[in-house]
Amino acid sequence: MNGKSLWRRLRYGRPIVVVSGLPRSGTSMAMRMLAAGGMEIVTDGERQADEDNPRGYYEDERVKDLANEPDKSWLRASKGRAVKVISFLLKDLPPNLNYKVVLMRRDLTEVLASQRKMLNRRNETDDTPDGRMMELWQDQLWRVNYLLRHAPQFEWIEIDYGEALRDPEAAATRIAGLVDGLNERAMAEVVDPSLYRNRAET
What pLDDT does residue 25 have?
Answer: 93
Angstrom distance (rounded) from CA 12 to CA 166: 37
Angstrom distance (rounded) from CA 5 to CA 98: 9
Model confidence band, residue 202 (pLDDT cutoffs 50, 70, 90): very low
Query: Cα 193 to chain center, whole Å?
Result: 18
Q: What is the mean pLDDT of residues 10-15?
A: 85
Q: What is the pLDDT of residues 141-195, one digit of tens each?
A: 999 999 999 999 999 999 999 999 999 999 999 999 999 999 999 999 999 888 7
Q: What is the mean pLDDT of residues 62-82?
A: 94
Q: In what order do the strands lie in the sheet with 99-105?
A: 82-84, 16-21, 99-105, 154-160
Facing residues of 18 across strands? 83, 101
Q: What is the mean pLDDT of residues 66-70?
A: 92
CB 152 within 8 A of CB 3: no
What pLDDT does residue 7 have?
Answer: 78
Amino acid present at 142: W
Q: What is the pLDDT of residues 108-140, one digit of tens each?
A: 999 998 888 888 887 877 788 989 999 999 999
Q: What is the pLDDT of residues 53-62, one digit of tens each?
A: 767 788 999 9
Cβ neighbours of residue 5 closer than 8 Å, sequence gap 6 or more: 155
Q: What is the pLDDT of residues 79-112, one digit of tens each?
A: 999 999 999 999 999 999 999 999 999 999 999 9
Cβ neighbours of residue 100 closer than 8 Å, sequence gap 6 or more: 15, 16, 17, 18, 154, 155, 156, 178, 179
Is 68 a residue whose pLDDT tops 90?
Answer: yes
Q: What are phi and psi of 96, to 5 degrees?
A: -90, 30
CB 60 within 8 A of CB 141: no
